[in-house]
Structure 1
Amino acid sequence: MRLPALWGRDKDDPFGALHREVEKVFDDFTKTWPSVGALTGRFLMPNIDVHETDKGLEVTAEVPGVDEKDVEVTLVDNLLTIRGEKKSERKEGEEGRMVSERSYGAFQRSFTLPYEVDPNKVEARVEKGVLKISLPKSAESKKKTRKIAIKTAK
């Protein structure tokens, strides 16, 4: 975790110097780990965006280098789960690789939706390393939605 940019700007600040030194130690220590992405969440916990529209929810998840056949999206009640696997492309007997920082392995991300969606109309597709999921509101959820008027104070 990086501290705000204001910390440690002054060269004489002992806390800033300590912070930089500790961060350097951790950076050096984790450089040699083969799946550092699993620890930092860079890949094995795909980053997502959730956007609400009048019709429902739009979820996008980063899944670079993952084939469509290696991704699974499930919806159980209001629990959406995205899981898949990024498979290693390394071949037996391959030589000459000096550094490998790419992450491989299984990933999974689940979260509860804020309202019921129509499971029969959910659509998902992978395009250019981005998984896009469209989750339309159920007819029941649309009926329950009501805009509340806000009164001004006197």
Structure 2
Amino acid sequence: MKLAEVVADEFGRVQEVVHEVVEGLGAEQLVVSPAPGANTIAWLIWHLARVQDDHIADLMGTEQIWTAQGWLDRFGLPFPAADIGYGHRPEDVEAVRVDSADLLTGYYDAVHEVTTAWAADLDEAALDRIVDDAWDPPVTLGVRLVSVLSDDLQHAGQAAYLRGLVLRDT
């Protein structure tokens, strides 16, 4: 298996979970919080898509899908364009509301498409390229990819667990 195929498979698994989590849920179910101040499904899926979009765009040296394809306006959230959810307070989490799950999956799918198209040209030598020298040791492309996938999968798993809680009570 080639590196590009592994990366595409990994991000494909994130995409599968994103769709499974939100499928059939209404707008109110997407914003159920299991406890005061806790993340919602809508916030978790939005955040994981924003992180992936932000980090992959940075690796590609391109504008994020969030702004380039108008998702910022479609979501209409009260955050700056560059906001990806890090450091959000409970009131910020509550502000992430969508009319339907289709908005969340549409945005994630757009990010996924760009991610996998970019990854199709990856080879093993690319993994050692330094992409962020603000850290000690500097961050390589390989480490950044692992970081994005780890973050995505953790949040997707949290959203899947939350879906179970939401549906249990219905």
Give the structure-1-normalised TM-score: 0.26
Q: Which of structures 1 and 2 has the bigger CA Rg?
A: 1
The structure that is helix-richer by fraction is 2
Specify which structure has the bigger relative contact order, considering alpha-carbon pairs within 8 angstroms and separated by 6 or more residues.
2
